[in-house]
Amino acid sequence: MTERGLDRTLPGGMVIAPSILAADYARLGAEVAEAEDAGAEWFQLDVMDGHFVPNLTIGLPVLESLRAVSDSFLDVHLMIDNPGEFLEPFAEAGADMLTVHQEVSAHLHGDLHRIRELGCYAGVALNPATPAETLSEVLGYVDLVLVMTVNPGFGGQKFIAEAVPKISTVLRMAADRGLPPPAIQVDGGIDPASAPECAAAGASVFVAGSSVFRWAPGIAANMAALRDALAPYG
């Protein structure tokens, strides 16, 4: 595959991206289908290695299985050491986007180039304590910046509001350099109460796990509540 052009952008509008970290893995296909029926077109898959973050989650077999039953956009968030070693396998397994962490990618510029060479969108994630300015030299090579609003590793954590200003900082940095704005994704504690604050700052992709898959009254109602909360922002 050839490298994507740097003017390539992700789908516009407000995107709710259910995180399958919070799904019932005994019913994963059914729960993803239920979310799709409720309007979801983008899912996040959190890959954790027990080293970079203190948890172990899914790997290539889950991505391959989900790709086989879903045409939705599959966003693979690599919370792993040495992510550059695993880009090709995850691209071949069906990822549409690969997101690596600034904190652990030893050759971030090279990893972002490689992701695009593999035909995937390129994302870079920032932990809550990581300044936005650390991306100043690579903003021209990313399609999406993921602003973590919890410390990565576990679902169901409390939203860290202090991370929100990084959203506008990233967008301002891109504008100052004459670059197209990357999509801004937020992940961690996203629900109908926290999502509007992020949208007001400029976020457009909202990863929601527990607030989609685990809250009563159910997936369809939870998706609708998030859409209603984001409706004033486009």
Helix locations, 38-179, DSSP H: 60-69, 87-92, 108-117, 165-176
pLDDT of residue 53: 66
pLDDT for the residue numbered 208: 97
Two tokens at 6? Answer: 């740097």
Residues 34-91 have pLDDT tens digits of: 999 999 999 999 998 776 766 667 789 999 999 999 999 999 999 888 899 999 999 9
Active site residues: 46, 187
Indicate the DSSP class of residue 56. B
191-211: burial string, b at 16+ Cβ within 10 Å, e else? bbebbbbbbebbbbbbbbbbb
Cβ(157)–Cβ(189) under 8 Å?
yes
Q: Give pLDDT, residue 155.
A: 63
pLDDT for res 13: 82
Question: Which three-class secondary structure state does DSSP give residue 199?
Answer: helix
Q: Which segments of the chain does DSSP mark as H helices, in order? A: 28-37, 60-69, 87-92, 108-117, 165-176, 195-201, 210-213, 219-230
pLDDT at position 75? 95
Q: What is the structure's pLDDT at 48?
A: 84
**Is pTM beyond 0.85 here?**
yes
Cβ-proximal residues to 109 (8 Å cutoff; 6+ apart), any chain: 137, 138, 141
- What single-letter DSSP state applies at residue 52? S
Spans of the chain below 50 pLDDT: 1-8
